[in-house]
Structure 1
Amino acid sequence: MSKKKPSTMAGDVPPRQYIWDAIRQLNDADAPITMASIQTAMGLECVRRVKQHRIVDYLRNLAAGGYIERTNVSKRPGERAVYTLLRDVGIEAPRVRRDGTCPPPPGREQMWRTLKIIGDFTGAELADAASTVHQPVAKTTADEYITMLVRADYLSVVTPASPGVPGRYRLVPSRWTGPMAPQIRRTKEMYDPNTGTVIYSRVIKTEGGEP
């Protein structure tokens, strides 16, 4: 291929992201989109992580959702499948089911995308703005996410919280790292899948008071 579109995704990304990146690279290079070319574009390390059956399943799902189309429709035994990209929806790999439908985004992703566009907000306002009919976001969930984002310096405090008055917050523009929401891990770390780095880790003290 004469040119390559590097992914801005990094870190613990799902298998579909490697496949989607490869499809977009091949499409940009006007190269055939096949099982073999996808594996080549992904690279050896990614191929080790993403088994062939996952590629087959994701291609089937993308076709059902109208993102790609098989161009050699005869499907003779042993004939390789060649696909065309119909809908390039951007860097983030579509979450598409077997029947071609897409599930609603998780609550944290809804909040992450929402806080970029609503200006300053309280926990209740973020939860309300990010909620959908199929994926409501609770205020407690928003408050927890805001707390971690503040600790990781993604959000600035516009108005500190005080008795009877909720705090107000705003996204720090330079801290928008990409479309995937920073994740809170069980260890109370905040991991940013856009950069592949742990941004914040809570220090847990021992009984003697030492970290």
Structure 2
Amino acid sequence: MSARRKARLVPAGRLTTREKLWAAMRELKHFTVPELARAAGVDRHAYNIRDYLLGLVRADILFAKPPASPGCFTVYRLQRDLGVDAPRVRRDGSIPRESAQSRMWKSMKILRVFSVRDLVVHAALPEAPIAPGAALRYCQWLARGGYLTPLPREKGDVARYRFIRDTGAKAPQILSVKQLFDANTGEIVVGQDIQSALDDAEGASC
């Protein structure tokens, strides 16, 4: 497969486990769970691949052929290729709404200059409002990361931000990485890596 063709199968940036699996599905077309895990470079004992596959089957994105005999694996076939972006599905096949951070990121790129209230109004959905405190926290983190710059304001004015750094379609995420840090040695003794923190954050947004 050419590098150009391969690039169309894989989204840009750091991939979640779900995105790795989807890219491998698009390349393989037909696969068992072990074949998919191997192609995606995913530990099938550490990540519940079958739940994701079950959701895709129930959403009519995959077709599952039952095992031919005891001891054999179910064979899956990709019947609807939805493009480079990995579909997000629940176990029952339903599609979760887009996360608040993703909606705010898209809104920032449209508004360019905005207050927290502007952002909340633009990014909220009737069935999924965004708390002003959550929007403010996201803006503050993005400002610290160099994506936004706070604008000067007169006394009594609301805080406003200018969008200055667009790194792509995926919204930057505020991650909670669970780690045990020993201040005596300056070492992280045990805990999550970025990959597992990304996967946890993705699961929490469903």
User: Same fold by TM-score, threshold 0.5 exceeded?
Assistant: yes
More divergent stretch after superposition (1-10 vs 97-106):
1-10
Query: What's the counterpart of residue 181 of structure 1?
Result: 172
2:14 is aligned to: 10
Residue 68 of structure 2 is matched in structure 1 by 76
User: Where does structure 2 lack aligned partners over 5 or more consecutive residues?
Assistant: 179-193, 199-206
Q: Match for residue 125 of structure 1?
A: 118
Q: How many residues align?
A: 175
Match of 2:163 in 1: 171
C-alpha deviation, 1:106, in angstroms: 2.8
What SS does the aligned partner of 2:63 have? strand
Q: Does 1:106 align with 2:110?
A: no
Once residues 139 and 122 of structure 1 are traced to their aligned partners in structure 2, the CA distance between those partners, rounded to angstroms, is: 10
Query: What residue number does 1:153 align with?
Result: 146
TM superposition score normalised by structure 2: 0.69
Asked if structure 1 preserves the Cα contact closer than 8 Å seen for 2:23 and 2:84, the reply is no
What pairs with 1:88-103 in structure 2 (closer than 5 Å)? Answer: 88-91=82-85, 93-103=86-96
Change in 2 beyond 3 A, CA 1:62/1:52: farther
Q: How many Å separate the matches in 2 of 1:118 and 1:90? A: 26
RMSD over aligned Cα, in angstroms? 3.0
Flag the 1:58–1:24 CA change in 2: closer, same or farther, 3 A: same
| Residue matched to 2:185 | none
> Match of 1:57?
51
Structure number with higher helix proportion: 2
Identity across aligned pairs (percent)? Answer: 26
In the other structure, the counterpart of 1:35 is 33
Counterpart CA distance in 1 for 2:133 and 2:160 is 15
Q: Is the 8 A contact 1:160 1:166 kept in 2?
A: no
**Gapped regions of structure 1 (runs ≥ 5):** 197-211
Say if 1:69 and 1:86, in contact at 8 Å, map to a contact too: no
- The corresponding residue for 1:205 is none
2-side partners of 1:96 and 1:83: how far apart?
17
**Residue 6 (structure 1) shift:** 4.2
C-alpha separation between the residues in 2 aligned to 1:76 and 1:161? 69
Q: 1-side partners of 2:133 and 2:46: how far apart? A: 41
- Please report how far the alpha carbon of residue 128 of structure 1 lies from its aligned counterpart in structure 2 after TM superposition: 1.0
| Cα 1:89–1:116 shift into 2, 3 Å | farther
Structure 2: how far apart are the matches of 1:85 and 1:172?
40
Shift, 1:9, TM fit: 4.0
